[in-house]
Amino acid sequence: MRWKKTDYTGWGRALHASAEIARPERLSALKALLADAPAPAIGQLRSYGDAALNTGGRAIDMTRLDRILGFDAETGVVEVEAGAKIGDLGRIFAARGWIPPVMPGTGFATVGGCIANDVHGKNHHVVGSFGQHVTEITLLQGDKPRKLTPDKTKVLFKATVGGLGQTGVIASAKIQLMPCKGDMMVLTERRVDGWEEFLSVLENSRADYNVGWIDATAKGVNLGRGILEEGEITSGVSPTKGKARDVPFNAPHWALSAPVVRMFNEVYFRRVPAGGRTTVKPISAPFFPLDAIHNWNRLYGKRGFHQFQCVVPMDQAPALRQMLDLIANSGLASPLAVLKRMGDGRAGYMSFPMEGYTLAVDFPNRSGARVLIGNLERMTEDAGGRIYFAKDALSGPDRVATMYPEHGDWLKAVAKADPDGAMITDLVRRLNLRNTK
Amino acid sequence: MNEAWIILGATSSMARAFARTVAARGDAVFLAGRDLEDLNATRHDCTAHGARLAEVVTFDARKPEGFAAIIDRLEREDGLINAVVFVGSMPEQSAIDADPGLIDGTVTDSFTGPARLLQMIAPLIEARGGGTVVGVGSVAGDRGRIGNYVYGAAKAGFHTYLSGLRNRLTRSGGHVVTVKPGFVDTAMTWGIEGMFLVAAPQKVAEDILKAVEKKRNVIYTPFFWRYIMLIIRSIPEPIFKKMSI
Ligand SMILES: Cc1cc2nc3c(=O)[nH]c(=O)nc-3n(C[C@H](O)[C@H](O)[C@H](O)COP(=O)(O)OP(=O)(O)OC[C@H]3O[C@@H](n4cnc5c(N)ncnc54)[C@H](O)[C@@H]3O)c2cc1C
């Protein structure tokens, strides 16, 4: 198996790495690689920061191991190789009445990546996190496969789910799919005029899927205005498929400058009629709104961008309002800002979710934004919240670990699973998650 | 009418992408190769993608004694039988220079092995009055180059074989598509210097199926390789022999 010297980045394109990457196409090739020299696995590089980067080291690209290994139409349990894209599973099975219970905002994320970050979807308040629906993981430690289940191998399972690849390479997994009516979604969009109203509509929403888009440029009385999207899966026929578009080049830096974003947000907000509207769409549209434009991350130019995402406990909503105020007044926000009510569902020691509110905002990679994000992190910490490894690119050593109360349990399990630190990535080094510094 | 595909060399990423594509049409697939564990994974994948039937058959280009069993199985399948050949091996030219004995294996894997099996499948196609053979060759077969002329020679032989087979099968309603891929993003090309315009296996698979549906004779995939090879073939030998491309 050849190793390819590759320069690559996370989705935010702000952090770079140069590493040797192998891309096995068969399980036997993967095992041979790992027997020779264990290295961290990477998926579709949809994490924004450096979760999948390994500067000066090696990494194993899992994207060619993407097959469906079995499906039980009685129980709805599907077994897949870790490189399978979650959106493909959604597409294949929704038409047959089953759907992955949890899908993140991009269909390109691999099953391995969904497990390693224990991702959440727009229905987290109803079904919990991805790992809660994983019934078995086949983990390779060296070339030895181990079957992990939530009850028989509890510790290693909990260290692997949300474990950032540190326990070994996930070769395949079984996922309990959820019955669904079909592959269409009834989507209701409503304008929300301000912060307090947003909290209350999120609280009162009875929809399976909901998410709030926030105009992070709106200040004063308009602070926290946005659009509440609520969705329910249904059946129906879909019109002809839209073709994906591509952003072929880096956009100039003014493409997402403050006046452009303010204008865009105004239009986006008014696009939904004052009285709201309901439409029916193929599920991929509301699940993965940005996937229709390939390489949209190039819109931020070659310096890239950052996404800040935190979650704070319910009673810390005022702290979140303060953060939004700071963001709105900085003039640095991009159109992408999302507010969601989160449940307490999580499946791993290092899983992100906690009961409360989560806010995610994109910023172009400039010094002002980096300072702002630093402040937002501090405010998150003070509020007893956490920031999300799948998005973080800026935090410093030891800071984040303290936001994760079960870090100690994870550390113990990982030290045992990977005593030589072969699976350490740039993110783990930067945040000193394995206490190696 | 029901269609079935025997896919030779089904462990390659191009073959896998193709198997998925025909599975999604609801066709039957017979996945032929040596790595049974891997073929089995692809079998499940094809079923999940909608294949009417998916089975693994053992195929080793160098072991023709196993071919009869494959034919037996295909005979029991009704409807149209299609065959697609993705097998081939490309040792480094330097390895061949060191051990000329490697030539035999390269030619068997890339040409005579699959040709021998196709020769046994041809009567099935004739008897049923239809069916398509797809032979995946290579742009390397269009002109011998210092870097891989043994592999190129084997593929050139295969191209000529396919052209003859097309001439034969067309009389009974069968068809043969010769596919000449340029650089494809597979384990074979991963990390090799000097690759350019590398195509995704899925793209190649879709091109092949389109060519089958349109009954094309010879395709390059991606299409621009036709022009690249046109230029390369038209370089006069006195000049070409001094070049290293
Ligand atoms: C547009 C967009 C929207 C998003 N929306 C959401 C969202 O709504 N909710 C959410 O939770 N996340 C969201 N994300 C983040 C994304 O879901 C996660 O970052 C996910 O982990 C990406 O999967 P990947 O395959 O790209 O993994 P990568 O980014 O390549 O890797 C992520 C981590 O997983 C590990 N890993 C990958 N494969 C394996 C394996 N086989 N074995 C062991 N470890 C492995 C890597 O080592 C790394 O630590 C979004 C990302 C984007 C770009």
DSSP letter (8 states) at residue A195: H
Asked if the Cβ–Cβ distance from A68 to B186 is below 8 Å, we say no
Chain B neighbors of A70, CB-CB under 8 A: 44, 48
ipTM over 0.90 threshold: yes
Compute the distance from residue A341 Cα to the ligand 1 centre, in Å: 21
Give me the mean pLDDT over the B31-43 stretch. 97
Please state the three-class secondary structure of B76-107 as a single string: CCCCEEEEEECCCCCCCHHHHHHCCCHHHHHH
Q: Which of B13, B45, B48 sits opposite A25 (nearest CB)?
A: B13
Return residues 243-262 of A near B (CB < 8 Å): none
Q: Which of A3, A81, A92 sits opposite B191 (nearest CB)?
A: A3
Listed range (A134-138, A222-226, B194-198) with the worst mean pLDDT: B194-198
Give me the mean pLDDT over the A376-388 stretch. 97
* pLDDT beyond 80 at A243: no
* pLDDT beyond 70 at A46: yes
Averaged pLDDT score across all residues of chain A: 93
Q: Is the peptide bond before B222 cis (omega within 30 degrees of 0)?
A: yes
Which domains are seen in chain B, by residue range? 3-240 (3.40.50.720)
Identify the band that residue A252 occupies on the pLDDT scale cut at 50, 70 and 90.
confident
Q: Report d(CA A352, CA A388) in Å as an integer.
A: 6
Q: Which residue has the tokens 């092995």?
A: B113
Q: What's the pLDDT score for residue B241?
A: 92
Which domains are seen in chain A, by residue range? 68-180 (3.30.465.10), 184-397 (3.30.70.2520)
How many Cβ atoms from other residues are within 10 Å of residue A42's Cβ? 29
Asked if the Cβ–Cβ distance from A92 to B49 is below 8 Å, we say yes
The candidate with the shortest Cα–Cα distance to A394, out of A335, A307, A326, A267, is: A307
Return residues 92-151 of A near B (CB < 8 Å): 92
Give me the mean pLDDT over the A252-281 stretch. 86
Return residues 16-55 of B near A (CB < 8 Å): 16, 35, 37-38, 41-42, 44-45, 47-49
Which of the listed residues A6, A9, A11, A46 should we mutate to test ligand 1's pocket, taking the one with most ligand atoms within 8 A of CB?
A: A46
pLDDT, one tens digit per residue, over A342-360 is 999 999 999 999 999 999 9
Pocket of ligand 1 (CB under 6 A): A 11, 40-47, 51-52, 62, 82, 104-106, 109-110, 112-114, 116-117, 119-121, 164-165, 169-170, 290, 390, 425
Q: What is the pTM of this model?
A: 0.95
Helix (H, G, I), strand (E, B) or coil at B67: helix
* pLDDT beyond 70 at B244: yes
Chain B nearest C-alpha distance from A304 (Å): 25
Q: What is the DSSP track for A397-436? A: TTTTGGG-TTHHHHHHHHHHH-TT-TT--HHHHHTTTT--
Give me the mean pLDDT over the B55-83 stretch. 97
Which of the listed residues A6, A23, A27, A42 should we mutate to test ligand 1's pocket, taking the one with most ligand atoms within 8 A of CB?
A: A42
Instruction: List the helix and strand counts (H, then E) for chain B.
Output: 10, 7
Buried b (16+ CB within 10 A) or exposed e, B7-34: bbbbbbbbbbbbbbbbbeeebbbbbbbb
The candidate with the shortest Cα–Cα distance to B66, out of B58, B75, B74, is: B58
Q: What's the pLDDT score for residue A376?
A: 97
Rg (CA), chain B: 18
pLDDT, one tens digit per residue, over A385-435 is 999 999 999 999 877 888 999 999 999 999 999 999 999 999 999 999 998
* pLDDT beyond 70 at B157: yes
Q: What's the pLDDT score for residue A264?
A: 86
Q: What's the pLDDT score for residue A241?
A: 59
